Chain A
């Protein structure tokens, strides 16, 4: 797998319906990696959550502000960067959605899902403004679709 064979860059206006566009592009890229359906699904959910947060909390649904999504493979790791033009926030200030007090809250699970479905999640705050969330998922053999490595094994 070439390191940059699945590089995708998208810039969308901050409208929730554009999350579907991102998902289609991400699924198309993931589709080339012969991942298991489960792995693709959960990566897709994590990306949706990142983009939804960027639109809703970062850019506060202002369609004049963009969300940029960069998707690629680096060292057998899916790397997704989602950047908004918002004011930033303190990731440590987020309540635990599993706490009994929060279990019945209707919101507050987006970042929790990203952490659950990816191996690593990192926030950086650009000096010029805006937040970048970077999601990483290492592609282990169990991430691959069943039989996905068959041909390679037979040839090798």
Chain B
């Protein structure tokens, strides 16, 4: 799993590609979020368009990222959920926790501050 990072209007956009699963993708996501935070990012958007699979460790890592960013006074949001990732968020009821958007423009506009 690869994660690329880019910046747009003061927002760090992380784009994982592949599986966010135990032992590989979950660790990569954690590292990417921590790198962004260490670089001073306060607004992080994870674009999940190219994610094929999320398992319980992957969803756990997304929750950890959310709580870590929030505790540091930042915002973390999601965009481009493939149907199976959307299903996972529904099943776990985490859809009520995350701010989720269909389009990147909409997500970028939603960040406060």
Contacts and interface: CB of A to CB of B under 8 A. Distances in A.
B63 A106 contact: yes
Interface residues of B, number: 21
Nearest to B70: A104
SS class, residues of chain B in contact with chain A:
helix
Given A19-B22, A45-B53, A103-B97, A109 B84 contact: no
Contacts of A16: 22-24
A45 B55 CA distance: 6
Interface in B47-62: 53, 55-57, 59-61
Interface range, A side: 20 to 34
A74 interface: no
Given A16-B23, A41-B84, A98 B93 contact: yes
B103 interface: no
B55 A113 contact: yes
A81 interface: no
A19 B59 CA distance: 17
Contacts, number: 57
Interface in A1-58: 16-17, 19, 38, 41, 44-45, 48-49, 52, 56
B80 to A, nearest CB: 18
A103 B93 CA distance: 8
Contact of B97 (A104, A106, A110): A104
A44 B21 CA distance: 12
22 contacts: A16-B22, A16-B23, A17-B24, A19-B21, A19-B22, A19-B23, A38-B84, A44-B53, A45-B53, A48-B55, A52-B56, A98-B93, A103-B92, A103-B97, A104-B63, A104-B67, A104-B97, A106-B60, A107-B57, A110-B56, A113-B55, A113-B56
Interface of A: 16-17, 19, 38, 41, 44-45, 48-49, 52, 56, 97-98, 103-107, 109-110, 112-113, 116
